Amino acid sequence: MQFAIDHRLLAGATLSDQFTLARDLGFSGIQLSFDQHFGDHLSEITAALAQSGLRVSAISMGHTHLIHPEYAVREQALVQMRQAMSAAVDLEAQGVLFKPFYAAGPVLPDLHPYKSSIELEAELLITQLRATLCDLAYALGTELLLQPISHEETHLIRRVEQAALVCKRLDHHPHLKIAANFYHMHREGETIAETLAQHSTLIGYLHATDSGHQLPGQGDLDFHGIGAALTAINYQGWITYECALREQSLEDICTQLPVSLRVWN
């Protein structure tokens, strides 16, 4: 198992400061967030990686607009996904992490009895992945990391098993993997160890957060047990710390991170 951390959890005036702090805290990877100005920072990122010795675990898109009523918005989402994949290749990251939906409720019409809103949205997502994104990931030599998120944020792809259905519909494309987030799994009532075992061949990336979206070890989840489950399935991928800041300062979080890294043993 390899441990990474989202750069936004780290104190530091520059990326170099953040990356060096991540290394000193015991992490070997860094997760970066993609935005429209990401390309402007590539040289700074590359220099910070060389100085710190870290690797980029993944580039996170956050919520995407691959499913949207307007064609132009969907096309722009595809453009941004392509840009992020190219950046992932340049930075030798595992891939691009994305949440496929951006709203708590449906955005496409209910065309019952033909198809419901959720059926239309699922078909549109699968078509976007099949027609463009999965093959592009293959051509570039990177991965798409599909992240289920809880019902507070979406009504589409909330559980790992639902993401697994998407993978099945795409004939288990080798460049599409599931990014499982422990906080969202817990919110959806999934038994983490059992789910990891059941879908072990599809899970390619993990977000480590506790039951209240805190650092691991600050909530109710059994990370010793989760670590044992990951060992049992021989998980070799990234475990990336990605938590809500809530009322804690960045300095406090950085103090607590070394303690949190010990909960897996």
- Span 243-262, pLDDT tens digits: 875 556 777 777 888 888 88
User: What's the mean pLDDT in 142-151?
Assistant: 96
- Is the CB of residue 206 less than 8 Å from the CB of residue 239? yes
All structural domains of the chain with their residue ranges: 2-264
Task: Write out the H or E segment, with its range, that includes residue 5.
Answer: strand 2-6
pLDDT greater than 60 at residue 34? yes
Closest Cα to residue 245, out of 220, 209, 217?
209
Look over the chain and give the mean of its residue pLDDT values, rounded to a whole number.
92
3-state DSSP helix/strand/coil % of the chain, to nearest 5: 45, 15, 35
Residues 6+ apart with CB under 8 A from 239: 1, 2, 3, 4, 206, 208, 230
Residue 245, classed as helix, strand or coil, is coil
pLDDT band at 161 (very low <50, low <70, confident <90, very high): very high
Chain centroid offset of residue 14 CA: 23
What is the reported pLDDT for 164? 97
- Please tell me the distance from the alpha carbon of residue 63 to that of residue 61, in angstroms, as a whole number: 6
- Kindly report the CATH class assigned to 2-264: alpha beta
Residue 205 is given by DSSP the state E
- Residues 186-245 pLDDT 10s: 999 999 999 999 999 999 999 999 998 888 998 999 998 999 999 999 999 999 999 875
Residues 6 or more apart from 141 whose CB is under 8 A from it?
89
Angle among Cα 139, 32, 163 to the nearest 5 degrees reads 60
Structure tokens at 149: 């998120």
Residues contacting residue 231 through CB under 8 Å, at least 6 positions apart = none
This prediction's pTM:
0.93
Helix (H) or strand (E) holding 179: strand 176-181
Q: What percent of the chain has pLDDT over 90?
A: 72
185, HSE (Cβ side, Cα atoms, 13 Å): 23
End-to-end CA distance of the chain: 12
Residue from 95, 20, 83, 25 nearest 57 by CA: 95
**What is the predicted pLDDT for the residue at 64?**
93
